[in-house]
Amino acid sequence: MKMSRRAKRMQRNHKRNANKNGLNLTALMDIFTILVFFLMVNQSEVEVQNTDSVELPVSVSENKPEEQLTVLVTDTDLLVQGRSVAQLSAVKQGDEEVIPSLLSELEYQASRTPIAEGEDSRPVTIVGDKATEYSVLKRIMSTCAESGFANISLAVNQKQPGGA
């Protein structure tokens, strides 16, 4: 069967344009460069503490945490914003309800940041291992309340719906 002129022309054009279907990376690289600069400029100054040694309890709470003062209870230390303020063994052995070294650090932190307008107390998040004794947590919470940090939150891992 004989090919028409249109079919011959289309065949020539297909042969000529067969090698031009490569990917143009210039535009893609421009987009990625702009994206990297955008992410660098707009990054948040949120400090993420390394809590690998702390296993958080699980909860069904849906509230997301806000950035606020953090008290971390590890198996050996009591840390405020990453600075060690007391040994946990000394906290367990103490008799008084208030932990003096934690109280002085919290009062220092309170003096650095003004209280939010419309609030009656400052917020604080306590990050503790799920095996932390309740008596230790109770003393930490009462020390926080004594120093003006009465809006206390406990950090937990969110339980997935459906038991997953």
Lowest mean pLDDT among 37-46, 91-100, 133-142: 37-46
105-135 tens-digit pLDDT: 988 888 887 777 777 778 888 888 878 888 8
The closest alpha carbon to 66, from 159, 153, 148, 160, belongs to 153
Q: What percent of the chain has pLDDT over 90?
A: 4
pLDDT value for 6: 92
50-91 tens-digit pLDDT: 556 666 666 666 666 566 888 888 888 888 888 888 888 888
Residue 143 confidence (pLDDT) above 60 = yes
How far is CA 153 from each of CA 33, 56, 140, 144, rounded to the nearest angstrom?
40, 13, 12, 11
